[in-house]
Structure 1
Amino acid sequence: MNNLTIFSRVLLKYKLAISILCSVLLASCGRPSETQEQTTPAQTDTPIVRVDGPGLSEAYARLRHQQIAQVDYQLSVNLDNEGNNFSGTVHSDIRFNHPLKQPLTIDFSNGAVNSIQVDGKSIPFGYNGYFITIDHKYLAEKTHRITVNYQHPYSNNGSGLHRFKDPIDGKVYMYTDFEPYDANRLFPHFDQPNLKARYTLDVTAPDHWLVVSARREQRIEKKGQKNHWFFPQTKKFSSYIFSLHAGPYHTWEDEANGIPLRLLARQSLSKYVKTEDWFTFTKQSFEFFQPYFEIDYPFEKYDQILVPDFNAGAMENVGAVTFNDSYVSRGGKTQAQRMHLANVIAHELAHQWFGNLVTMNWWDDLWLNESFATYMANLALAENSEFDNAWENYYLGAKQWAYHSDQRPTTHAIQLPVSNTDEAFSNFDGITYGKGGSVLKQLPYYLGKEEFRQGVSNYLKALSYDNSTLSDFIKHLGKAAGKDLHSWQQQWLYQAGLNTIEASFQCDNNQISHLVIQQTAPEEYPILREQRTQLGFYQMVAGTMKRVATLPVLYSGARTEVQEAEGLPCPQGLYPNEEDWAYVKVNLDKVTIKNMVQHLNDIEEPFARLMFWQSLFDSTYDAKLPLDEYISFIVNSGADEQDINVIRLNARYIGFTYDFLTQIPLNTQRRNELTQAVERFSWDQLLRAAEGSDQQKIWFDVFTHIAHSTPALSSARELLMGEFAIEGLELDPDMRWKLIKLQNRYLFSDYEQAITRELAKDNSDRSKLNALSAEVIRPLEENKSKWVDNLISNRDKFKLSEIRRISESLFTAEQVELFNIHSQPIFDSLDQINEDNSQELLSAYAYALPLMCSRENIDKITKSLQEKQQLKPILVKALKNHRYSGERCINIGKRLL
């Protein structure tokens, strides 16, 4: 799955005492979960009573893995384009390891069970809305066929089997999304990754629909106004990557060296799909991965389906990957947007080997899936695509997500115990994706590139169609490199926290005479790590700050003497993580800070400028550099920057600084000076950008986020109405909605009529969601009361995609006083929201909390955490992260004052 956004929509429980102890003191705790995973199938199952509620525990999944030696499914599903439910029958052919000594449970959430048969005979059963229970006396033999006839509602929250009706043409589309524990919302089965199965599927659907799953159909039979689709048995894989998609999709076809490719999108969106990009990026990924892994693509075909209301970026279903159809732009894409699309395509294709062919045993090894796909996607782009700045893009995106997440109180070890599927859901975050990918990125520097590649290949070959644990992966890497990775594994995978390095040097006769790297660790996670980094040495040469030397260094412990640096030219700037080899935070020495700030625009290497600009923001976010000084740097030095990634970075942080400025306690005059300075700068950059350039689109987005003065709002409305034009800037429908939302955010001019006019032109689902955002964002007390009430009491009237828009738009940073009026009902409703079984809904609800830069609001969060001990992990994580952001904002404000 690709979930990456910046600082982000982290989908963001353990038994806290045990899990924190074992992640911090793992050397003495050991790895109990790994020894449990290796339990032999012959072991007698110890009675475990399954909790009567949603989700699946690791303990019960482990028991069931001991009970069941093999299972295959034969699934029949009946779909209709009307109605609220679908029906199905599943035959589960099971071979047990030994006679059962307790009931067997079958996962099936929120459906209806009509009948159950064992070997053709009807039996009594229990069903609590979460799982089916069959008494073990009906399962006395070693092999049985269990048949379940059932019904289930279509989903409207993007999980399970989701049904979507396109408002433009009324056509109905369906797709599935299961990770980590929603496959049981399609059919009753054993929904855990280490019970891999083969699937034989047949589907009855309207005759004008296409039906897609892991394999291409074997045949189609006509049945009145319906068609009956028959699919051959699949290879063996986990149920969370099984899929079923259906509807009147528009289809394009191609092939990648003999592998059949299809791209599917709903009819109303098909005219916007740039198929050349999709197929080109897909073929380039195939060209890279197959020789790299030394394994041909393991499945028979490869479909990519663009779907609406999707909760993530994409999902790696075997042979039928789903993508959020927001990747289809109704206007031109920037190069960064094209690169992001290429990255997501490569990420999901990498999963076909790492995740689908070889699958983690349980969700504690989720990082093996997601970290690897994150790293491999970027490697594929760097090695075999048109994007020659792929690693800069990685640094700007996934790496910053990781750094940001690793400094929060909710950080965690990359590898950690996961006691249930709720905890698994909360771990789709910047640590699992960004930090895990970054740790893998530094391994080739540590082991050697070819040694790393060979270890990965050997791992995939040895465990094809099987499940694996971390020890399997580390064993193959270490063997290929001839290194004992035990210490590395303990440092990097079982310990949380972000280290910091700083290089200091002395010079004689304009040459380095002494250089040392000092490493520190946060007090909460006092581990010092070993890794290879690269030092970059800079000097002014003919008016340009040039990199005059680089030096690879392996550092460890608190202090590393770098004798190899002696005799190198004395630098005017030294960057201790040149080209982003290492996963580490950087403190710059005083000489470097002084010279690099003075010569920021003279630095020749764009990647180096990018990293120095990031260091400036880090200093501000850490409350070391005053916010007004940072703004001054951007306004005075950022205007001349031409590198697109540096522009993207500065544009992003201008949005951050504006949000801080709206809440930091300042006198009105000073606040206006600073907010209008960033507003003017963004508008000037928009006007100055080359016609039709990516810079125009970037600064347009920034401007529509921070515009607030009457002149700026007037300019925005004139753009919308066509009364003013910026050469080369073509407003697509989504850009127009940004201008309309801005009007409503400040109740400017004819803001209500702007929504009505735009909906008359464009009645698509995207427009309806944008119109909803524009209404919710209005800063009127009665309006906020209405939408807070809808969010708390009437959320069953809205789809999840609508709830997410309501939450995101409810309180912007400058509307914190309106939030204060309504904060108590929101905090009080946490217990009620917590009862919902949808993890996606819980994460969406958390967006209703804005930036809260006051001690009063931070105390409200603390009180909720103290009083509401039963909150689910995703809500606990969201509250702690909001509190952390608020405390950071307070510290930034103190530094400014």
Structure 2
Amino acid sequence: MNHSGKFALGVLCSAVLAACSLEPNQLQQTAGTSTAHAQAKSAEARADVPGLSETYAQLRKEQIAQVDYTLSVTIDKTGEVFSGRVIADTQFRRNLLQPLTIDFAGGEVKDVQVDGNTVPFAYNGQFITIEPKYLEGRKHAIAIDYTHVYSTNGSGLHRFEDPVDGEVYMYTDFEPYDANRLFPHFDQPNLKAHYTLDVTAPKDWSVISSVREESVKANGDVNHWVFPQSKKFSSYIFSLHAGPFTVWEDDADGIPLRLFARKTLAEYVKPQDWFTFTKQSFEFFQKYFEVDYPFVKYDQVIVPDFNAGAMENVAAVTFNETYVSRGEKTQAQRMRLANVIAHEMAHMWFGDLVTMNWWDDLWLNESFATYMANLALAENSEFDDAWENFYLGTKQWAYDADQLPTTHAIQLPVKNTDEAFANFDGITYGKGGSILKQLPYYLGKEEFRKGVSNYLKDLSYKNSTLNDFMGHLGKAAGKDLSEWQQQWLYQAGLNSIHASFQCEGGKIASLTIEQSAPADYPTLREQRTQVGLYNLQGDEMVLSKAIPVTYSGASTEVTAAKGEVCPQIVYPNEGDWAFAKVTLDQVSVDNMSKHINDIASPFTRLMMWQSLEDSVLDAKLPMDDYVRFALANGGAEQDINVIRMISRHLTGHFMVMSQIDMDGSERKQLQQAIESFAWDQLNSAAAGSDAQKVWFATFTSVAHSQQALANAEKLLNGKLSIKGLSLDPDKRWNLIALQNEHLFGDYEKAIKDELAKDSSDRSQLNAIAAEAMRPQQAVKAKWLGNILEHRDQFKLAQLKYAASALFPTGQQELYVANADRIVAALDEVNSSDAPELVGTYARLFPLNCSKDGVEQVEGILNSGKQLNPLLEKALKNRHFRNQRCLDMAEAMGSHTAG
């Protein structure tokens, strides 16, 4: 799975605002388990609660030796429910001494049969229970007839009706525990199965699953699709997608490729990009893994209302529609598409072919795909700056998450499926991917590759644990990785490093890497990196020497640096090998500040800019100093990745200044300077360039003066144009949102006119967001009512857009006026078992950079209430960001006063 789709609402990715051995015991799995042990286990009844616990999953794994499913499903265009029949051919390890439960959430069970005979059962809305006396013997065919409502929240079998042409589309999304919303079964990753599927669906629909259909037979207004038995895999990566999709076809060296999108989106899809990136990924992975693609065909389905970025269903990957732009993509957007295609494909081997035993190894599944996707792009694509993008995006997400109060070890115990969901974060993906990026330097690139290949070969179609993976890597490299595991996987926290050096006679006399750790997480780690020595040569600051070094402990002497020319800048993580926060020494800071635009390497400039931003976030560098530095130096930058970073930082600081207690005239001067800078950069950027697109987005985020708002309105109405700037529908909505946020011009008419031109669901979602942004109490009350009290009348996507847009950072007074109503709804939300509702509610707590804002969240956290893990995590992080914002304001105030 790729979660970048979570950041597709145009929400700022600034770290200030928050954008955009623990191994489970392997129970004995043989028929020879002692009777006493089995009798002890029989006393354990499954708790009558949603989800699945690790303890019960282990017990059920003891019960069941093998299972295969035959599934028949009937779906239609107009109904609210679908029907199905599943036969689970089940082999047990021994005669059952306790009831068998079958996962099935939110449906209706019509009948249960065992070997053709109807048997009594219990159903509590979460799982079906069959008493052991109906399951005597070791092998049974358990048949269940059922119905289930279609989903509208993106999980289970989701139904979407296109508002433009009325066509209906369906898709499934199951991770970690929603496959049982499609059909009753044993929904845990270590009970892999073969699936034989047949589907009755409207005759003009395509039906897509893990295998290609073997026949399609017409029967009046419907077709009956019959699929052959699949390979063996976990149910969370099974799939059923259906609808009147537009389809494109291609081939990757014998592997059939198909790409699907709904009809009204098809004109914007660029299949050549999709197929090119797909073929390049296949070419790289099959060679790297030395294992042929195991699932015969490869479909990619672009779907609406998707909760994540993409999902690695076996041979039928689903993608969020935000990967389809309605205008010309930037190179970064094209790379983002290539990256997510490669990420999901990597899962076909690592995740689908070899699958984690339980959700505590979810991090490894996602981190490996994250690392491999970037490696594939770096080594076999047109994107020669893939690692710069990794640093700019994934790694900054990881660094941010690792400094939050909710940071955690990469490897965590996961007691139940709800906790698996809670741990999808920047540690799971970003930090894990970053430390896997470090491992090939630490072990050797070929040793790492060989270890991965052997792991996949040895465990194909099986389940595995972290120890299996690390054991294969260690064996290939001839190295014991137990200490490495303890340092990196079982301990939380982010280390900082800096270089300390002395020069004599123009040469380095000594250079050490100093490593530190936060007090709460004091682990000092070992890793391999490079120390970069920089000096001016003519007008350029160039890398004069890169010295590889493995550092550990509090201080590591870099003996190879002795005698080198005394550097003007030292960067102790040259090439971004290590996962560590870099603090520059004062000499390097001074020279970098003087020569930021003279540094020859764009990647180095990128890292230098981030070091400055880190100092702001740590309240060491006053924010106004950074802003002035960026305005003075940013205009000369030509590298698009550095431009993106500068833009991100300026936008974030603009928004923070809207809230903090600072001198009013200084706020006005700095915000106006940022607005003017963005407008100037937009107008001076090369026509049609990516830089032009970046500065357009920046301008629409910071425009606030009457002149700027008037210019934005003229752009929207065609009275003003900028050469090369094409206003596609999504850019037009940026301008409309800006009007509504500031109640400028005929803002209501702007929404109506745009919807008349474009009634797509994307436009309808943007219209909701634009309205919710209005600084009017009546609007806030309306949408709070919809989110908190009338949510059943809306799709989840609509509620997410509204909640994310409701309180922009410049509307703090309106948030304060509605805070009591938001807090009053906490108990009801907290008692919900729907993570989607909890996640939407958490968006109603925006950045509140005030003492009251800190105390409000603190009061909830200290109330003694047992908070939902997702809600508790969101509130702890909001509390931290509010306090950090106050600290930044204090640093700027102290600086101004001094």
Alpha-carbon distance in 2 for matches of 1:700, 1:338: 18
The residue aligned with 2:14 is none
Deviations 1:799-825 (A, max 9, x none): 000010111011011111111111111
Paired residue type of 2:679: W
Paired residue type of 1:166: D
Alpha-carbon distance in 1 for matches of 2:81, 2:786: 26
Alpha-carbon distance in 2 for matches of 1:731, 1:847: 29
Deviation at 1:872, TM superposition (A): 1.4
Are positions 1:35 and 2:25 aligned together? Answer: yes
Deviation at 1:304, TM superposition (A): 0.2
Are positions 1:603 and 2:599 aligned together? Answer: yes
Deviations 1:174-231 (A, max 9, x none): 0000000100000000111000000000000000000000000011111111000000
Are positions 1:481 and 2:477 aligned together? Answer: yes
Within a 5 Å distance, the mapping from 1:326-725 to structure 2 comes to 326-725=322-721
Query: Aligned Cα RMSD in Å?
Result: 1.4
Within a 5 Å distance, the mapping from 1:701-850 to structure 2 comes to 701-850=697-846
The residue aligned with 2:896 is none
Alpha-carbon distance in 2 for matches of 1:392, 1:38: 46
> Residue 530 and residue 84 in structure 1: after superposition, are their counterparts in 2 closer, same or farther (change >3 A)?
same
* More deviation, 2-11/455-464: 2-11
* 1:7 and 1:405 in contact (8 A); partners too: no
> Residue 9 and residue 364 in structure 1: after superposition, are their counterparts in 2 closer, same or farther (change >3 A)?
farther
* 1:622 and 1:892 in contact (8 A); partners too: yes
Size of the aligned set, in residue pairs, is: 878
The residue aligned with 1:253 is 249
Alpha-carbon distance in 2 for matches of 1:209, 1:304: 16
Deviation at 1:99, TM superposition (A): 1.3
Deviations 1:835-872 (A, max 9, x none): 33221222122111110111212212122122263321
The residue aligned with 1:21 is none
Paired residue type of 1:651: S
The residue aligned with 1:2 is 2
Alpha-carbon distance in 1 for matches of 2:6, 2:74: 40
Deviation at 1:9, TM superposition (A): 9.6
Paired residue type of 1:134: I
Are positions 1:310 and 2:306 aligned together? Answer: yes
Deviations 1:432-482 (A, max 9, x none): 100000000000000000000000000000100000000000100000000
Are positions 1:886 and 2:876 aligned together? Answer: no
Paired residue type of 1:872: N
> Residue 601 and residue 288 in structure 1: after superposition, are their counterparts in 2 closer, same or farther (change >3 A)?
same
Paired residue type of 2:258: R
Paired residue type of 2:369: A
Alpha-carbon distance in 1 for matches of 2:27, 2:723: 62
Paired residue type of 1:203: V
Deviation at 1:830, TM superposition (A): 1.5
Paired residue type of 1:704: T
* 2:714 and 2:720 in contact (8 A); partners too: yes
* 1:303 and 1:321 in contact (8 A); partners too: yes
Paired residue type of 2:52: L
Deviation at 1:169, TM superposition (A): 0.8
* 2:2 and 2:311 in contact (8 A); partners too: yes
The residue aligned with 1:15 is none
* 2:848 and 2:882 in contact (8 A); partners too: yes
The residue aligned with 1:139 is 135
Query: Which of residues 316, 332, 343 is equivalent to 1:320?
Result: 316
Alpha-carbon distance in 2 for matches of 1:790, 1:414: 37
Query: Which of residues 103, 109, 121 is equivalent to 1:107?
Result: 103
Structure-2-length-normalised TM-score: 0.97
Alpha-carbon distance in 2 for matches of 1:674, 1:189: 60
Within a 5 Å distance, the mapping from 1:215-254 to structure 2 comes to 215-254=211-250
> Residue 132 and residue 868 in structure 1: after superposition, are their counterparts in 2 closer, same or farther (change >3 A)?
farther
Are positions 1:195 and 2:185 aligned together? Answer: no
Deviation at 1:39, TM superposition (A): 6.0
The residue aligned with 1:296 is 292
> Residue 637 and residue 465 in structure 1: after superposition, are their counterparts in 2 closer, same or farther (change >3 A)?
same
Secondary structure of the equivalent of 1:604? coil
The residue aligned with 2:859 is 863
Paired residue type of 1:869: K
Alpha-carbon distance in 1 for matches of 2:274, 2:7: 27
* 2:193 and 2:234 in contact (8 A); partners too: yes
* More deviation, 433-442/540-549: 540-549
Query: Which of residues 881, 885, 892 is equivalent to 1:896?
Result: 892
Deviations 1:21-67 (A, max 9, x none): xxxxxxxxx43x43345665643441322121211111111111111
Paired residue type of 1:2: N
* More deviation, 822-831/568-577: 822-831
* 2:374 and 2:387 in contact (8 A); partners too: yes
* 1:37 and 1:361 in contact (8 A); partners too: no
Alpha-carbon distance in 1 for matches of 2:196, 2:681: 57
Paired residue type of 2:883: E
Paired residue type of 1:456: V
Alpha-carbon distance in 1 for matches of 2:801, 2:318: 21
The residue aligned with 2:165 is 169
Paired residue type of 2:342: A
Alpha-carbon distance in 1 for matches of 2:527, 2:31: 39
Alpha-carbon distance in 2 for matches of 1:852, 1:118: 58
> Residue 113 and residue 276 in structure 1: after superposition, are their counterparts in 2 closer, same or farther (change >3 A)?
same
Secondary structure of the equivalent of 1:352? helix
Identity %: 62
* More deviation, 350-359/653-662: 653-662
Alpha-carbon distance in 2 for matches of 1:685, 1:366: 43
* More deviation, 783-792/166-175: 783-792
Deviations 1:492-540 (A, max 9, x none): 0111100001101111121111011110001111100000011111001
Paired residue type of 2:209: S
Structure-1-length-normalised TM-score: 0.97
Alpha-carbon distance in 1 for matches of 2:278, 2:653: 38
The residue aligned with 2:15 is none
* 1:4 and 1:398 in contact (8 A); partners too: no
* 1:744 and 1:777 in contact (8 A); partners too: yes
Alpha-carbon distance in 1 for matches of 2:474, 2:9: 35
The residue aligned with 2:17 is none
Paired residue type of 1:730: S
* 1:530 and 1:556 in contact (8 A); partners too: yes
Query: Which of residues 74, 79, 83 is equivalent to 1:78?
Result: 74
Deviation at 1:7, TM superposition (A): 8.4
> Residue 9 and residue 681 in structure 1: after superposition, are their counterparts in 2 closer, same or farther (change >3 A)?
closer
The residue aligned with 2:18 is none
Alpha-carbon distance in 2 for matches of 1:579, 1:41: 53
Alpha-carbon distance in 2 for matches of 1:528, 1:746: 49
The residue aligned with 1:24 is none
Paired residue type of 1:498: L
Paired residue type of 2:521: Y
